[in-house]
Chains A and B, each alone.
Chain A
């Protein structure tokens, strides 16, 4: 029938399928056009910002750039602090603080505090039996999966109800 693969129709088949589908729609009185609310266009126009489109776009781009820079900065800071904390735990608690001017400076104080706070947590995690870790991890994953399934199955029902 001149078909390239399983799903590709020839032109004649495509035309026939198109016409049959149109006939089906017609039986249901479709395709029909809904009239939008009378004042919708006026409402949209009244909400337009005063600035020119180019200016709005520039502002939007600046805002997005600022946001991504902030996110990068937060991520990088977190990464650096984690690396310093790990170094402090594995090697020497005061070394990371010394890198930023020593424990007597404000920043050094913060780094030292993070390093020291991480120490007992690290000790706690390393003291737990490997089996407990595995069982805990499997439980967390199973609960997460069950929660996700519940959300994805309930959502469509809730949303279709909310649309009415």
Chain B
């Protein structure tokens, strides 16, 4: 409760242009936003960029924040929308010849391929990236951020029953992705029967 009180004070001070107060909010939530971005966007580099842009956006929109809502939920909803938007834009990014050069056959593993192999070691992260972003989001919020159904529903604008259905499908898709990757640790029937 004390922390929430402090948080409200920081927000009110930040609204008056107090950057130190906003810096405290940034310190408080950097890890949370960074981790959400990392799970959604797939790389630490993208997560770092996104975290910076999200906090700048949050500062600009602080005036529209309703003090009766939980700040963390509001912040994560902005972060979620930002990530979904960025993923949507990726689909339309231009591919240059330099970008496609890696597709040419090579006899030895170069640094990029070695990096790819390293990345493959992180099986869950790779499987997460293979499922649709809307499914990924609910999984990340539920299991990595430990948010309740009602919080996720508020954050995503879904009804609780729609959220449960989406979460169910998301779990199933992630399990299937893991199985494709050679993992046999999950009984898909458990969630699909």
A residues engaging B (CB < 8 A)?
4, 7-9, 14, 16-17, 20-22, 24-25, 27-28, 30-31, 33-37, 40-41, 43-45, 47-54, 56-57, 60, 151-152, 154-155, 157-164
Nearest-CB residue, chain B, relative to A154 = B95
How far is it, in angstroms, between the C-alpha of A36 and the C-alpha of B27 when the chains are bound? Answer: 11
Q: Is B60 an interface position by the 8 A CB rule?
A: yes
Listed from nearest, the 5 A-B pairs whose CB atoms lie closest are A36-B34, A163-B43, A53-B62, A52-B17, A45-B23
Given the complex of chains A and B, what is the CA–CA distance between A43 and B144 in angstroms? 25
Residues of B within 8 A of A (CB): 14-17, 19, 22-23, 26-27, 30-31, 34-35, 38, 41-48, 51-52, 55-56, 59-64, 90-91, 93, 95, 99-100, 102-103, 112, 115-116, 119, 123-124, 129, 143-144, 161, 164-165, 168-169, 171, 175, 178, 185-187, 190-191
Known contacts being A44-B56, A48-B22, A52-B15, is A20 close to B191, with CB within 8 Å? yes
B141 to chain A, nearest CB (A): 11
B60 pairs with A22, CB closer than 8 A: no
Q: Say whether, besides A44-B26, A52-B16, A37 and B95 are in contact (CB < 8 Å).
A: no
Which of B31, B59, B190 lies in contact with A17, CB distance below 8 A? B190
B115 to chain A, nearest CB (A): 4
CA of A4 to CA of B144 in the docked complex: distance in angstroms?
A: 28
CB-based contact B143/A31 at 8 Å:
yes
Contact of A40 among B46, B52, B119 (CB under 8 A): B52
Complex interface: chain B residues within 8 A of A35 (CB): 31
Q: Which residues of A contact B45 (CB under 8 A)?
A: 163
Contact B26 A159 (CB under 8 A): no
The CA of A8 and the CA of B100, in the complex, are separated in Å by 43
- Inter-chain CA distance A37–B56, complex, in Å, is 17
Question: Which residue from A14, A16, A28 sits with its C-beta under 8 Å from B164?
Answer: A14
State A56–B14 Cα separation when bound (angstroms): 13
Give the shortest distance, in Å, between A159 (CB) and chain B (any CB): 6
Contact B95 A163 (CB under 8 A): no
**A53, B60: Cβ atoms closer than 8 Å:** yes
**Contact at A161–B44, with CB atoms within 8 Å?**
no
CB distance from B66 to the nearest CB of A (A): 14
Q: Which chain B residues border A154 with CB–CB below 8 Å?
A: 95, 100
With A48-B56, A158-B99 known as contacts, the answer to whether A53 contacts B164 (CB < 8 A) is no
Q: A30: nearest residue on chain B (CB-CB)?
A: B124
In the complex, chain B residues whose CB is within 8 Å of the CB of A163: 41-43, 45-46
How far is it, in angstroms, between the C-alpha of A37 and the C-alpha of B33 when the chains are bound? 12
17 extra interchain contacts, Cβ-Cβ under 8 A, other than A7-B168, A16-B190?
A7-B169, A20-B186, A22-B143, A24-B178, A34-B34, A35-B31, A40-B51, A44-B56, A45-B23, A48-B59, A49-B60, A152-B91, A157-B103, A158-B100, A161-B116, A163-B41, A164-B119
